């Protein structure tokens, strides 16, 4: 087991990464204010890991409530959030009860937001079970639900007390989700960590073969990047925005296609290619860089073209993104491979061209 | 105009109290990050003050969206909250748009919570138009909506950038709401400000007659008390809990009777009498103190007995209160007139007796 820390002053918290962690209640107990917890998971993860986690806690004397949500991004909404509150109140959970998110990004985001709001804030723990959640969404305290007009529109910053990333859970992850998770892993290399990008280029096949040591290294190096950025800029007033490389395009893809179409990581891969193409058009990176990035995404089995929504529809959806400021699109682009920057200076015509060029001509 | 400040470090903000403030855009403009705002109000307040506020801002070049909610505590729910988000997104409001709450406690609480959650946090301004909101709910950053199983169960701490308490708005306040607001004013005297309590005993008739100078003084002295407590303990880990004198009983009354029955201040008056009766039973205050408190509430036209819900129902509702910790009821009681304390040591039998003794035998 390796342990990183997110050094946010008095909200300092550890990230444990390793194998067979879910059954180790001694890792969780120090972070429960009282011996009472509610585990939130979904109908896919519950049969795999809920018993192991709940049983470990119960044997340690913890009163455990279990909340099983339907599985899918389309349930990351107010209705599902309310169903969590219903159970918390029926089970007389309090501000001192700890909420535990067991699952992927959707479970983590909605559980974290529930913890942020319930009685104006209760402690929570992330136990991410997908690659995407382990390398990105479980770290950093961004929590949210979706609104029909935009992803993650309603949410809060609420840091977990602990992140427990058990890499064994990646064994049961569907192939497509593993590949989607790699999009965010590759992102860290692109925006701020060239040595990591080079490591990924050399070890991608080991990751796709799910070699435990390779997966653990990818998770650790990703979490280290994420935690450094979050510590430097918790509320995303500066550097943290760089983590959104490809996300303004990607969110437009996700919302435009509708739930059940593209996975988040798939949309981010295609969105990152749009951002990279735009960076190339502006002369920030060169043609070889663009090829290099595209090759890595392709090897990971990720889409490198977006769906044909029409450029106008892309722009309309992008206008609803949280990165809009004063009506201006603020985009994350690549200054070079391994270094990103935020800009609102990209001409609209160039943005349109990048979108048009990187849409699949089906 | 008098100005107090809430000195919360970098979230320092002013409270302006005075007459004819709503039309003075120069008081608001310094607190808008961009010239874009959304005013949230309700169908009762809108015809009285919305035009004055919106017009002043528009003449100063601010792009103003207007959101008019139905009036009533029963609308302080996630459905109404969602209707605010719908408009904010349709109108392309951003993280830098300022939300302005124009109305009483319900408008302030739900608008504040919307501001806390929309795109994970946007700035907001409180323009309270009821006595209750001016002396209590607009100051301190507590925001929330209700859940069917309990009041203010879902919420956040989110401080406003500015509170603009225009005492002229109290002219249009229904008599019953003015009286209900006085319950929270009296509370400050009871929990921590004996000189203010004495002033209230001497000036209650002037307040009931709505003398502007008396109202302004009551609002200022209340806000000063509130702001001192909030600065000392923003997140309610200690002293701030004292502001909840009568509230655990009072919330049980409000939820037990159902929306449309008792006003918040009315429930707090009856709830405070229960807390005072319990304090008397425990020997903390004496019989004369109890009479003195009851006399002041009676003079203000407030109920001094709760409804006959049955003691068991009271206890059941009180168990869902946010002040429960480890299954134990934590109550605010009076050590003396002018000084309150939190205790979880009141025997259940005594709590039951206090409730039974202070329920109206209709």
- Per residue in A26-54, pLDDT (tens digit) is 999 999 999 999 999 999 999 999 999 99
**What is the Cα–Cα distance from B33 to A176, expressed in whole angstroms?**
43
Average pLDDT, chain B: 95
**What does the block give as tokens for A22?**
């879910």
CA distance A285 to chain B (A): 31
Residue carrying structure tokens 């896919």 = A44
Lowest mean pLDDT among A319-323, B31-35, B146-150: A319-323
B169: pLDDT strictly greater than 60: yes
Which residue in B95, B121, B154 is closest to A118 by CB distance? Answer: B154
Q: What is the pLDDT of residues A224-242, one digit of tens each?
A: 999 999 999 998 888 999 9
Q: What is the CA radius of gyration of chain B?
A: 20
Residue A326 has pLDDT above 80, yes or no: no
A132-167 residue pLDDT tens: 999 999 999 999 999 988 889 999 999 999 999 999
Residue B125 makes CB contacts below 8 A (sequence gap 6+) with B28, B31, B98, B99, B100, B101, B160, B161, B162, B163, B164
Kindly indicate the confidence band of residue A10, based on its pLDDT and cuts at 50, 70 and 90: confident
Predicted model pTM: 0.92
Q: Catalytic residue at A147?
A: no
Interatomic CA distance for residues A21 and A37, integer angstroms = 18
* Beta carbon pairs, A and B, within 8 Å: 90
A325, B154: Cβ pair inside 8 Å? Answer: no
pLDDT for position A258? 86
Question: Could you tell me which residues are beta bridge partners of residue A16?
Answer: A3, A164
**Which chain A positions have a beta carbon within 8 Å of B92's beta carbon?**
319-320, 324, 327
User: Kind and range of the H or E element at B132?
Assistant: helix B131-132
CB contact under 8 A, B117 and A154: yes
Which residues on B lie below 8 Å from A247 (Cβ)? none
Residue A356: CB atoms within 10 A of its CB come to: 14
Q: What is the pLDDT of residue B122?
A: 97
Residue A283: CB atoms within 10 A of its CB come to 7
**From A79, A120, A325, A361, the catalytic residue:** A120
Lookup result for tokens 């603009």 = B164
Is residue B42 annotated as a catalytic residue, yes or no? no
The answer on pLDDT for A340 being more than 60 is: yes
Q: Is residue B113 a contact partner of residue B145, using CB atoms and an 8 Å limit?
A: yes
Q: What pLDDT is attached to residue B151?
A: 85
d(CA A110, CA A43): 15
Give residue B127's Cα distance to chain centre: 13
Distance CA B329, CA A229 (A): 42
Strand, coil or helix: B144? strand
Name residue A331's beta-bridge partners.
A343
Contacts of B325 in chain A (CB under 8 A): 94-96
Q: Looking at the structure, give the CATH architecture of the domain made up of residues A2-172.
A: 3-Layer(aba) Sandwich (3.40)
Respond yes or no: is residue B33 known to be catalytic.
Answer: no
How many angstroms separate the first and last alpha carbons of chain B?
A: 45
Q: pLDDT digits over A60-80, tens only?
A: 999 999 999 999 989 999 999
Half-sphere exposure of A244 (CA within 13 A, CB side): 25
Residue B184 has pLDDT above 80, yes or no: yes
Question: Any residues with CB less than 8 A from the CB of B151 and at least 6 apart, and which?
Answer: B144, B251, B254, B255
Residues of B in contact with A141 (CB under 8 A): none
Compute CA distances B181 → A193, A318, B206, B260, whole Å: 58, 45, 15, 16
CA-based nearest distance B356→chain A, Å = 24
Residues of B in contact with A153 (CB under 8 A): 85, 89, 118-119
User: Catalytic: B264?
Assistant: yes
Determine which helix (DSSP H) or strand (DSSP E) holds B296, and give its type and residue range.
Answer: helix B287-299
Q: Are A33 and A123 in contact (CB under 8 A)?
A: yes
Total count of residues recorded for chain A: 362
> In terms of CA atoms, which chain A residue is nearest residue B63?
A326
Chain B residue with the nearest C-alpha to that of A34: B326
pLDDT band at B361 (very low <50, low <70, confident <90, very high): low
**Beta carbons within 8 Å of B270's beta carbon, 6+ residues apart:** B246, B249, B250, B253, B262, B302, B303, B304, B305, B306, B307, B358
Helix axes A348-357, A311-319, angle to 10 degrees: 120
pLDDT at B324: 72
Quick one: fold of B2-171? Rossmann fold (3.40.50)
> Residue B258 above 90 pLDDT?
no
**How many Å apart are CA B34 and CA A326, to the nearest integer?**
7
A82 chain-B contacts, CB cut-off 8 A: 78, 147
Average pLDDT over residues A198-223: 97
pLDDT band at B260 (very low <50, low <70, confident <90, very high): confident
What is the C-alpha to C-alpha distance for residues B55 and B44, in angstroms, rounded to an integer? 18
Q: What angle do CA B218, B221, B226 make, to 5 degrees?
A: 120
B249-281: b (≥16 Cβ within 10 Å) or e: bbbbbbbbeeeeebbbbbbbbbbbbbbbbbbbb
> Which residue, among B74, B108, B135, has the nearest Cα to B262 in the 3D structure?
B74
Q: Would you call A96 and B325 a contact, using CB atoms and an 8 Å cutoff?
A: yes
Considering only alpha carbons, which residue of chain A is nearest residue B36? A326
The kind and range of the H/E element at A291 are helix A287-299
Residue of B nearest to A329 (CA): B94
Work out the pLDDT band at A361, boundaries 50, 70, 90.
Answer: low
Residue B238 has pLDDT above 60, yes or no: yes
- Number of other residues whose CB lies within 10 A of the CB of residue A51: 12
Q: What is the CATH number of domain B175-357?
A: 1.20.1090.10
pLDDT attached to residue A148: 86
Q: In the structure, what pLDDT confidence band is assigned to residue B295 with cuts at 50, 70 and 90?
A: very high
Beta bridge partners of B359: B306
Per residue in B324-346, pLDDT (tens digit) is 777 788 999 999 999 999 999 99
Mean of all residue pLDDT scores within chain A: 95
- The domains of chain B are located at 2-171, 175-357
Report the Cα–Cα distance between both ends of chain A, in Å, rounded. 45
Determine which of B78, B87, B94, B98 to mutate to test the interface with A (most A C-beta atoms within 10 Å): B94
Tokens of A12: 């300092």
Cα distances from A220 to residues A21, A90, A162, B161, in angstroms, run: 15, 38, 15, 40
How near does any CA of chain B get to the CA of A170, in Å?
Answer: 30
| CB–CB contact B120 A90 (8 Å) | no
């Amino acid at each position: 087991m390796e342990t990183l820390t997110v050094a946010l002053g008095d909200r300092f918290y550890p990230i444990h990464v390793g194998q067979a962690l879910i059954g180790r209640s001694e890792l969780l107990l120090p972070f429960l204010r009282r011996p009472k917890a509610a585990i939130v998971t979904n109908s896919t993860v519950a049969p795999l890991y809920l018993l192991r986690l709940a049983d470990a806690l119960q044997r340690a004397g913890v009163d455990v409530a279990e909340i099983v949500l339907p599985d899918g991004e389309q349930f990351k909404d107010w209705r599902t959030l309310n169903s969590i509150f219903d159970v918390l109140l029926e089970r007389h959970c309090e501000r001192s009860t700890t909420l535990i998110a067991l699952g992927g990004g959707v479970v983590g985001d909605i559980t974290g937001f529930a913890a942020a709001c319930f009685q104006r804030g209760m402690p929570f723990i992330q136990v991410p079970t997908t690659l995407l959640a382990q390398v990105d969404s479980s770290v950093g305290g961004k929590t949210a639900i979706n609104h029909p007009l935009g992803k993650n529109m309603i949410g809060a910053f609420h840091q977990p007390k602990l992140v427990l990333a058990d890499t064994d859970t990646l064994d049961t992850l569907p192939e497509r989700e593993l590949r989607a998770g790699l999009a965010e892993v590759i992102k860290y290399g692109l925006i701020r960590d060239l040595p990591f990008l080079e490591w990924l280029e050399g070890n991608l096949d080991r990751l796709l073969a799910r070699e435990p040591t390779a997966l653990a290294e990818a998770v650790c190096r990703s979490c280290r990047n994420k935690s450094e950025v979050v510590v430097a800029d918790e509320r995303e007033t500066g550097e943290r925005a760089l983590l959104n490389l490809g996300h303004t395009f990607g969110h437009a893809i996700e919302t435009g296609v509708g739930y059940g179409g593209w996975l988040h990581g798939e949309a981010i891969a295609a969105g990152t290619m749009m951002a990279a193409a735009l960076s190339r058009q502006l002369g920030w990176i060169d043609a070889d860089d663009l090829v290099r990035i595209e090759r890595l995404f392709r090897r990971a089995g990720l889409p490198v073209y977006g769906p044909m929504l029409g450029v106008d529809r892309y722009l309309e959806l992008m206008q609803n993104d949280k990165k809009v400021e004063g009506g201006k699109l603020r985009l994350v682009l690549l200054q070079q491979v391994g270094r990103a920057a935020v800009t609102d200076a990209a001409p609209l015509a160039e943005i349109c061209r990048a979108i048009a060029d990187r849409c699949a001509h089906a």
